[in-house]
């Protein structure tokens, strides 16, 4: 039976045994963010740095299958108590969700932390073992303990621990009561407690490389050729438009991530095998190539692929210089470095090396 299986594999490879592709180790991170008025610095910083965080986590070997979810929370008298954005590997989608967050509401000091943790643990679709699964709670105010609505942060953290989901607690500011609860949550969740400044430890940092990285990132996205139905065309067009509208600091971060991404956009033809390109061209669903013969279209795609590889190489080298400049800066990014360092330590447990 075993030899027969080898024979079938050999036929597919033209006489050689085709190696079986191994599944990439999965890393799932749910950011649970206080979005009340006092958290403006953290939220604006997260919009800038989420690309960098994803890039640094994704630099492991083997490359992890990174999924990110967001849970925004406020309080019962605000516009919402929680907003849940499910796990996705699409960083453009994560960025869009973060961009929709506004620091508003609040009033009394406590917030509905318990409801947010319940959503993170029970409402999100977590993978099973051996995936690395982490909740990162970020806020500056303690939970309400006076609500009789069935939510209890202690119970939700205990459930996370039972299911093998680590819970980190990052405190913004120096509120003593928040510190006590955040330490309790991190300890019960087998996670890490950290305290950062009231602005979220995400200072806006500018380097001499930002403008060029933003320019190269825009050119990288211009190599995309979308093929698909009207819905795919519309979705991908919105993604590319959003990238073009990014502030320079965000675009610099995003370019470093996209230079290493598995795909630049849904439906992109450029990196697909030639046989698949030919099949898609026959369906005439790539408007940017309309009017070209098959040979002309394939030549166009090949030229874009070559240019893409060149741009990715330049961006990767420039991003390394930017990282070095930031590392040497007196203004350290406490949130970014704390999250990434802990994730890298834990990733070793599922075979990822950095």
In a domain? residue 2: no
| Integer Cα distance of 234 and 52 in angstroms | 27
Query: Are 215 and 174 found together in one domain?
Result: no
260 burial level (CB within 10 Å; 0-12, 13-18, 19+) = middle
Owning domain of residue 257: 210-328
Query: Are 200 and 222 found together in one domain?
Result: no
The closest of 49, 51, 332 to 194, measured between CA atoms, is 332
pLDDT on residue 200: 59
In a domain? residue 13: no
In a domain? residue 4: no
Query: Are 188 and 256 found together in one domain?
Result: no
Would you state the structure tokens that stand for residue 341, as one six-digit string? 């360092």
Query: Are 265 and 343 found together in one domain?
Result: no
Query: Are 98 and 229 found together in one domain?
Result: no
pLDDT on residue 159: 98
pLDDT (mean) for 130-139: 96
pLDDT (mean) for 202-227: 91
Query: Are 199 and 267 found together in one domain?
Result: no
In a domain? residue 6: no
Which of 18-27, 67-76, 178-187 is predicted with the least confidence, judged by mean pLDDT?
18-27
pLDDT on residue 330: 63
- Which CB contacts under 8 angstroms, 24+ apart, belong to 206-210? 206/249, 207/252, 207/322, 207/325, 207/326, 208/325, 209/252, 209/318, 209/319, 209/321, 209/322, 209/325, 210/248, 210/249, 210/252, 210/322
In a domain? residue 16: no
In a domain? residue 84: yes
Q: Is the pLDDT of residue 23 over 60?
A: yes
pLDDT on residue 19: 45
Query: Are 342 and 257 found together in one domain?
Result: no
Residue 80 backbone phi and psi in degrees, to 5: -155, 160
pLDDT digits (tens, 9 = 90+) for 115-126: 999 999 999 999
Tally of domains in the chain: 2
pLDDT on residue 199: 66
**pLDDT tier at 327, thresholds 50, 70, 90:** confident
Query: Are 321 and 340 found together in one domain?
Result: no
Query: Are 50 and 162 found together in one domain?
Result: yes
Query: Are 61 and 191 found together in one domain?
Result: yes
In a domain? residue 3: no
Q: Is the pLDDT of residue 291 over 80?
A: yes
pLDDT (mean) for 302-315: 98
Query: Are 223 and 188 found together in one domain?
Result: no
pLDDT (mean) for 20-47: 89
């Amino acid at each position: 039976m075993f030899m027969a299986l080898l024979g079938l594999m050999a036929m597919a490879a033209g006489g050689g045994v085709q190696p079986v592709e191994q599944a990439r180790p999965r890393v799932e991170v749910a950011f649970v963010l206080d979005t009340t008025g006092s958290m403006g610095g953290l939220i604006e910083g997260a919009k800038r740095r989420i690309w960098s965080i994803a890039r640094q986590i994704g630099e492991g070997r083997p490359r992890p299958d990174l999924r990110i979810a967001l849970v925004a929370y406020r309080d019962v008298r605000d516009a919402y108590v929680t907003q849940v954005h499910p796990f996705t590997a699409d960083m453009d989608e994560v960025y869009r969700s973060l961009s929709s967050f506004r620091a508003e509401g609040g009033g009394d000091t406590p917030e509905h932390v318990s409801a947010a943790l319940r959503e993170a643990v029970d409402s999100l679709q977590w993978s099973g073992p051996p995936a690395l699964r982490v909740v990162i709670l970020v806020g500056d105010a303690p939970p309400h303990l006076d609500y009789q609505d069935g939510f209890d942060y202690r119970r939700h953290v205990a459930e996370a621990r039972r299911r093998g989901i680590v819970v980190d607690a990052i405190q913004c500011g120096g509120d003593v009561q928040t510190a006590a609860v955040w330490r309790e949550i991190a300890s019960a969740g087998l996670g890490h407690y950290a305290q950062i400044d009231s602005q979220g430890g995400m200072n806006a940092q500018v380097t001499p490389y930002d403008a060029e990285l933003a320019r190269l990132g825009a050119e990288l996205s211009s190599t995309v050729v979308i093929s698909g139905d009207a819905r795919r065309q519309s979705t991908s067009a919105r993604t590319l438009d959003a990238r073009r509208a990014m502030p320079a600091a965000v675009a610099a971060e995003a370019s470093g991530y996209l230079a290493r991404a598995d795909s630049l956009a849904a439906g992109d033809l450029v990196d697909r095998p030639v046989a698949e390109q030919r099949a898609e061209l026959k369906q005439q669903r790539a408007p940017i190539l309309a009017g070209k013969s098959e040979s002309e279209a394939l030549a166009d795609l090949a030229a874009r692929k070559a240019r893409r590889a060149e741009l990715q190489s330049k961006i990767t080298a420039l991003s390394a210089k930017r990282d070095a400049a930031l590392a040497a800066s007196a203004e350290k990014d406490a949130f970014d470095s704390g999250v990434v360092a802990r994730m890298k330590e834990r990733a070793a447990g599922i075979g990822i090396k950095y």
